[in-house]
Structure 1
């Protein structure tokens, strides 16, 4: 099920692995970096900035920067960021951030992972539609990346 409105993207996937294993893939900065394709500088810490160089081909010029909102063991991981802020000639610092939330729950075959990104209505109108479209497609790919990573690295 993938529900999206103009302000919110929602993706979900079932992964054939324990909640603990999936949690590790999402909350451990090294594993997160493997499937997300970012080389993070250090562990996620609530209230602190995490940053790293994107390693996805074509986006290596982009530094990912998030502010960790929540780390609720084996249930919820959330961070704030500026969606699709990839143009190095643009200063995005005055823009509001969207919040990305990963929630996990047991499922019949393993773990149900939901990824929600909300707050697009606050993004400046001139780039809102593209940011939404790119992240909608991005999260569709990333939930599969999480699944593939976990099922390959049991």
Structure 2
């Protein structure tokens, strides 16, 4: 049985507005999520992410923009052709807490792919999010 979702919760020692900007601006995203990012921040808008060290690029479609509390996008499942319709939903929820901002990340929709593809994509993205969320924290702490 393939897990359908990845879920991570971190508390970042920064105000919600700073975390929101890191998640939703090209300048912020380019500092922690990939090497280069472009984003058209509106539902139906596109976001482009490139990772120089992976020689890879991803295109996402913005699904939800609710500043500064929720941001979500859909993107392709790793291991499927780029024109494949199956996508996962990456959903960030931000909540102010006494120590800063609680960030909840949920990426869901892996189980719609064939089991071997879903397992591999889930494993790859789990490792990716673990790394990227550390990079987010490092970026925010350095910019403070």
TM score, norm. by length of structure 2: 0.90
In the TM superposition, residue 35 of structure 1 has moved relative to its aligned partner by 0.2
What CA distance in whole angstroms lies between the structure 1 residues aligned with 2:129 and 2:24?
17
Larger mean CA deviation between 7-16 and 117-126 belongs to: 117-126
Q: How does 1:65-80 map to 2 (within 5 A)?
A: 65-80=59-74
RMSD over aligned CA atoms reads: 1.7
Which stretches in structure 1 are left out of the alignment for 5+ residues? none
Name the counterpart of 1:28: 25
In the TM superposition, residue 42 of structure 1 has moved relative to its aligned partner by 4.2
Q: Given the alignment of the two structures, is residue 6 of structure 1 paired with residue 3 of structure 2, yes or no?
A: yes
More strand by share: 2
What CA distance in whole angstroms lies between the structure 1 residues aligned with 2:21 and 2:38?
17
Q: How does 1:19-98 map to 2 (within 5 A)?
A: 19-55=16-52, 57=53, 59-60=54-55, 62-85=56-79, 91-98=81-88
Name the counterpart of 2:97: 107
Q: Contact 2:16 / 2:68 at 8 angstroms: preserved in 1?
A: yes
Which 4+ stretches in 1 moved above 6 angstroms? none
TM score, norm. by length of structure 1: 0.85
Match of 2:93, SS?
Answer: strand
Match of 2:14, SS?
Answer: coil
What CA distance in whole angstroms lies between the structure 2 residues aligned with 1:26 and 1:135?
17
Q: Given the alignment of the two structures, is residue 147 of structure 1 paired with residue 137 of structure 2, yes or no?
A: yes
Q: Contact 2:16 / 2:96 at 8 angstroms: preserved in 1?
A: yes
Size of the alignment, in residue pairs? 143
Which stretches in structure 2 are left out of the alignment for 5+ residues? none
What CA distance in whole angstroms lies between the structure 1 residues aligned with 2:115 and 2:104?
27
